[in-house]
Every structure is written in C-alpha cells, then in structure tokens.
Amino acid sequence: MEKKDLISTKHIDVLDGIRAISVIIVLIFHFWQQTWIFPIIKTPFLGFMGVERIDFTPLAKVGYLFVDMMILISGFLLFLPVARNVFSGDPIEKWSTFFKKRAIRILPSYLLCIVLLFFYELIAGGYGRPINWGVAFSDLILHLTFMQTWTTQSYLATKLNVVLWTLAIEVWFYVLFPVIAGIIRRRKKEKDALGCIFRASVTFAVMIGISIAYIYGYVLNTGSAFSSSVDKFLLGIKIGSMQVGIRSDYLSMVINQLPAFMGLYAVGIAGSMIYVFAAGKLKRKWWIGTIFTVIAIVFLWLIIVMIKDCASKNAEEAQIWQMTERLKLALVYMGFILSSAFAVKPFRFLLSNKLMVFLSTISYNLYIWHQWLCVKLKYEWRVPYWTGDTPPNQLYGPESDVWKAKYAVIITIGAFALAALMTYLFERPMSDLLNKRPSIYNGKLKTLFKKKQ
C-alpha cells in the first residue's frame, strides 16, 4: 500500500472544519438572540430552480444543538489513542500526561476569562453595591472547581460568562475518562481486539442507559417519587451562599448536566473505534471516497431535516426535543464525521483548508468570548449608541434596522478579533511555556526574526 493511500488515525483533517463550523453556528444562535436579524440570503440567480432565497433561520433558532457536536468531537478525539491501542496495540500515555495535556489545553484561557470577568464585575457593580461577597466568592469558587452547573445562581444567573458551563461538563468527563478507557483498553495477554470490543459494547450500553434513565426517569418524570426525592436531596445541599438544585421551570438546568451527555460521549467513543478499525482496512481510492462523499451528503441532509424539525417547535418543546432526540442526533452527527473523514479529497478540502484550520485554531476563544462580548456591547456599553429603555432590535422601523446592521457587524468583527488576539497572544504562548517550548514571551519572536534575516 502506497503512503498516499494510507488513512491517518492521528490527525483527521475534516474535524478542523466541523469544529469551526459548529462553534460559528452556536455564535449565530447567540448573535440572533441579541439582533433578531433573521439570516436569509436572497438568491434570484437560482430562480430557475425555484430557489428565491436560502433561509438559515432554523440554524439561528436552535444553533445551540451544535454544542452537542462540539462535545461529540471531544469524546471522539479523547478516545482515539485508546482505539489505536485496541486495534493496533499502540501504548497509551500515562494518565498524569493525559491530565497535564488537558489542563494545558483548557485552563489558561478558561482561568484568564474567569479572573478578568470577576474583577470586572466587582468594579462594574455586577455583584451589587455594596458588593455581595458571599455571592461573588461562591460564583468564583464554583467556576474554579467546575461545579457552576450545580446552582442556578452560578449557572443561569452567573456574572462569569454563562457559556463556560460546557467546560464544566468536559472536565468532569475527563475525571471519568481513565476509568472508562481502563475498562476498554487492551490487556497484555490479549492477542486480538475481541475482548476490548465486548467490554466497549457493555460500556456503551451502560453510558447510554445512564442518559436514558436520567432523561426519562428524572428530567421528564417531574413529580414522581424518584424525581421528587432527588430534588429534595439536592435542595438540602448548599455551597457557600448558593443552594444546589438543577431543576428549572424551563429545563435549562437539567438539560445541561453530565448524565444527559453520557450517551453523546458513548457515541463519540464508538465512533473513534469504528474510525480506527475502518482506517486500517480502507485505502484512499477515488471510488471509496466517492461512496463516502455521497453518504456524507445524505447525513448532512439528515442533520438539516432534524434541525428544521427542532426549530419548528416552541422554546419548551424544542428543549424537550433536544433531550429526547439527542442520541439520534449524535448518531447522525457521527455518521457525517465518519463519512466525511473517508470522502474524496475535494470534499475534505472544504473542511480542512487554511481558513478552516485558522477558524478551528481560534474556535476555543471564539466560543468563550463571543456571547459575553455581544451582551456587554448591547446592554452595558451601548455600542452602537442607543437611548431609552428598549434596545433598538426590539423596535421597528428604518432606524432600528440600521442599528441592528451596525451592531451585527461590530459584534462579528469584535468576536473574531478578540478570539484571534486571545489565541495568539495568550493561549498559544501559554501552551508553549507550559510545554517548555520557545514562546513569544521567551525568545520565539527573536529566533524567528533572526531566521528571516
């Protein structure tokens, strides 16, 4: 087999684009919440096909569903080294190394965001005047320990950036991951992968069972003896001045707890095993790529159908849909990821070109900062400037339309610019420093400058 025909199991190029697009769709959802601009593109040049316009409104209305894609990709990538161990016998890195890498990847930008926003809110009066130190420190401590989703005050009413809840889910899964991987990984005496596959199947079933039991036995079974007893137990716990309780009238708390995502992670883990197995059997041939390209397009169509279905419902129904259809949507997402990874080169290029690589590189900070920035610009800093008590996007008329257009441009440019700055001036240099590599803060720029000379 020629080297060009080999399929890499270490770098999957299409994931750059899929990750970047997922973050941008979540951004579109949050920006739509603030602008009320419906993303519709007029296409008169397609009139001969009966397509006068392309309406992206469903993506704006339920773009939060692509947070699931981001978490799915995380589970997929986390398990890839274990999948290589299962099918190829590759060694697995020490768990101390695993946690070090995860910490270096997520903590610098996460902690910087928390520290900056904490002091900003203290100064700006976000925690009251005089400062309510109990709420302030509880909010801070729960974020530092990744427990912010456990109380309404530190999650839905937090001053420290509500989108950080996803990092809490991720970190607690990192804690569980060595146990899951340890169960599935190949034993020294195993000559083939059959035992691993059996243990993996049992593990997947347990993880999916946890999600199903949580969703149908607790979340959607409000008022039952079981759900009431759990609520009573949680409400009896206090962390600082905040009371633990994940029940909410509009489901926002219960949807985004780790048990609800266990099935999603199971699909990610299963997907990585399927990918590594298939990559060892398939070659980069045009006819194989063509088949998978067609399959990828079918899965993309299924994603669009499911997004439209969710977007057709009211807010509460959409949240219930998100819980009950999450596993099905995860399977469709994974189908798209796997088929795209084996697709023809031109299709993969759409998801792995330089632009997609750049967007993927800044996607972490883009996700962290975009919502906070657009809300502050609108309500506190009033940029573009507006007067009165009602934001212009809630009014009608030419002046409102002009303001919305200006605001949309400002928050879009601002979000991408801030993400790029945070990535290249903080996240990546900190990663270099913590990995004991030259960074822009310890001679890297000087070295590069000398090379150019």
Render pLDDT for 107-154 as a digit per residue (tens, 0 to 9): 999 999 999 999 999 999 999 999 999 999 999 999 999 999 999 899
- Dihedral of the CA atoms 342, 347, 351, 356 (nearest 10)? 140
Q: CB–CB of 162/182 below 8 Å? A: no
Q: How confident is residue 443, by pLDDT bands cut at 50, 70 and 90?
A: low
DSSP string, 271-305: HHHHHHHHHHH----HHHHHHHHHHHHHHHHHHHH
Q: Give the separation between CA 310 and CA 25, rounded to whole angstroms.
A: 15
Q: Give the separation between CA 222 and CA 203, rounded to whole angstroms.
A: 28
Partner residues linked to 242 by β-bridges: 239
Q: How confident is residue 451, by pLDDT bands cut at 50, 70 and 90?
A: low
Please compute Rg for the chain using Cα positions. Answer: 23
pLDDT of residue 248 exceeding 80, the answer is: no
Residue in 4, 3, 6, 14 with CA at minimum distance from that of residue 271: 14
Q: What is the pLDDT of residue 113?
A: 97
Q: State the total domains in the chain.
A: 1
Is the link from the previous residue into 178 a cis peptide, with omega within 30 of 0? no
Name the strand (E) or helix (H) holding 54. Answer: strand 53-55
Which residues form the domain of 115? Answer: 3-452
Burial (Cβ within 10 Å: 0-12, 13-18, ≥19) of residue 349: middle
Q: Give the separation between CA 335 and CA 298, rounded to whole angstroms.
A: 9
Partner residues linked to 55 by β-bridges: 40
Q: How confident is residue 447, by pLDDT bands cut at 50, 70 and 90?
A: low
Structure token pair of residue 11: 């770098």
Highest mean pLDDT among 49-63, 211-225, 346-360, 433-447: 346-360
Q: Give the separation between CA 235 and CA 381, rounded to whole angstroms.
A: 37
Residue in 241, 234, 236 with CA at minimum distance from that of residue 218: 234
Q: How confident is residue 2, by pLDDT bands cut at 50, 70 and 90?
A: low
Q: CB–CB of 124/380 below 8 Å? A: yes
Residue 212: CA count within 13 A, CB half-sphere: 9
At position 35, the amino acid (one-letter code) is T
Q: What is the pLDDT of residue 61?
A: 93
Residue in 309, 313, 333, 315 with CA at minimum distance from that of residue 252: 315
Q: CB–CB of 59/24 below 8 Å? A: no
Q: Which of 177-181, 252-256, 260-264 has the lowest mean pLDDT?
A: 252-256
pLDDT digits (tens, 9 = 90+) for 159-209: 999 999 999 999 999 999 999 999 999 998 888 999 999 999 999 999 999
* pTM score, whole prediction: 0.93
Strand ranges inside 111-262, DSSP E: 238-239, 242-243
Neighbours of 437 (CB within 10 A): 11
Query: Which CA distances in Å does 210 have to 1, 218, 230, 238, 263?
Result: 43, 11, 15, 25, 8
